[in-house]
Amino acid sequence: MLSKLSRRASQFSQCLVSGSSRVRAVRGPRNVPAVQAFQVCQQRGQGNISAPLAPEPPFPTVRSMPVSSRAWCGQSPDPVTAYRRRWEECFQPWSRSPSIQRELEEVGFSIVPGALTAIDVDELLQELPWLLEGGPVTMERQNKGKGGYDYLRHLPVKLAVLREVAYEALLPIADAFLESHRLELQSSRRTFSLNTTGKRFDTLPRTLLEFEELCAKKGQTRPSNLFLWYQEGGENRAHRDVYGEVSFPLQMVLMLDQHGEDFDGGKFFTLVNGRKHEATMNRGDLLIFRTSCLHGCTPVLPVLCKKTQTKHETKRCVLGLQFALRQLLRERRAKGYR
Ligand SMILES: [Fe+2]
């Protein structure tokens, strides 16, 4: 079993690096890929599998990850150009809407509904087990709630391009929030600085690649995108995702399960000026929220089958998409950062 998994994982990562990734769609019920990804995480979390997918040193960083679309250029057909066009069409009308900035200011989040189709989500869940670092963490152990998460070694090209396009589309809004982001982080005793030796930045870098290079200069070299999963009773207490001195004022979360079918409750929430704001997310929805806001997930409840009145398997899986790379806590503490 282990050798089979390892073989498949190495085959897949070779495909990703060579750029000839082909995801084989597994036919079956809609939730099969989600269950597979979820079960692999659970098994690895329980130590049943000795982390066959763990990355080997040197750890993947911005330079080795296929984050930049440039790594995929020159191919025929060029998937990057097609994805870029698609995400630009998705983001530009949304980011130009005058109500978005107000929404982000007042409630801390805004939703791009149905950013991913059902097929996109199925494909993603199919790939996920082979993209995870292999070091799942239980939230209970960190007193963060009840559930689990694992970081992704890198994103599939579709999401890597989405992240690049989103960075550029969100940049004007992020610029507008930069000062309040700085003040809110400082008031929560977090360090925030975009400056590096000999260089002072008053604005955010114009591209994601430049932003990641800035992160790397500050010692933040690890990918910070993560897969989170919750079962019945799962929850995520209010927290902030700040992994070093460099942070981006906005971050994203992608819903992979369907509210009302796979889970009930499980609402994304923010705390803005002491007030709680909740969002109900559906499968494929992309939620953008302010990084400086305390946020989390309300308790996940089971859903009863309308026909049989029996409980479905309760699961609420999301993908956290961050722009800033991360630095390990012990590395941050060693430097005296908070
Ligand atoms: Fe978070």
Domain spans, the chain: 2-12+28-334
119 Cα to the center of ligand 1, angstroms:
26
240 Cα to the center of ligand 1, angstroms:
6
324 Cα to the center of ligand 1, angstroms:
13
Which pLDDT tens digit goes with each residue over 232-279?
999 999 999 998 899 999 999 999 999 999 999 999 999 999 999 999
Evaluate whether the domain defined by 2-12+28-334 bears CATH number 1.25.40: no
The structure tokens 């479905």 sit at 312
pLDDT average, residue stretch 212-221: 91
- Residue 328 pLDDT grade (very low, low, confident, very high; cuts 50, 70, 90): confident
250 Cα to the center of ligand 1, angstroms:
12
249 Cα to the center of ligand 1, angstroms:
13
Please tell me what DSSP assigns to residue 297.
Answer: E
User: Which is more confident, 88 or 130?
Assistant: 88
One-letter-per-residue 3-state SS of 263-276: EEECCEEEEECCEE
Q: Give the burial class of 109: count Cβ atoms within 10 A of its Cβ; 0-12 exposed, 13-18 middle, 19 or more buried.
A: buried
Per-residue pLDDT, 77: 58
Please tell me what DSSP assigns to residue 259.
Answer: B
126 Cα to the center of ligand 1, angstroms:
23
Question: Rounded to the nearest 5 degrees, what angle is found at the Cα of 271, between the Cα atoms of 303 and 325?
Answer: 90
Query: Per-residue pLDDT for 4 more than 70?
Result: no
11 Cα to the center of ligand 1, angstroms:
32
Edge to edge, what strands does the sheet with 275-279 contain? 145-146, 235-239, 294-297, 268-272, 275-279
Alpha carbons 229 and 152: distance in angstroms, whole number: 13
CB atoms within 10 A of CB 183: 12
232 Cα to the center of ligand 1, angstroms:
19
316 Cα to the center of ligand 1, angstroms:
15
Alpha carbons 9 and 257: distance in angstroms, whole number: 24
**Residue 144: strand, helix, or coil:** coil
239 Cα to the center of ligand 1, angstroms:
6
61 Cα to the center of ligand 1, angstroms:
21
CB atoms within 10 A of CB 283: 23
CB atoms within 10 A of CB 70: 11
Q: Which residues contact 257 (CB under 8 A, 6 or more apart)?
A: 31, 34, 263, 283, 315, 316, 317, 318
Per-residue pLDDT, 173: 94
32 Cα to the center of ligand 1, angstroms:
26
Alpha carbons 94 and 91: distance in angstroms, whole number: 5
pLDDT average, residue stretch 32-50: 51
Alpha carbons 67 and 223: distance in angstroms, whole number: 10
275 Cα to the center of ligand 1, angstroms:
18
The structure tokens 């859903």 sit at 303
Per-residue pLDDT, 329: 66
307 Cα to the center of ligand 1, angstroms:
36
pLDDT average, residue stretch 124-152: 90
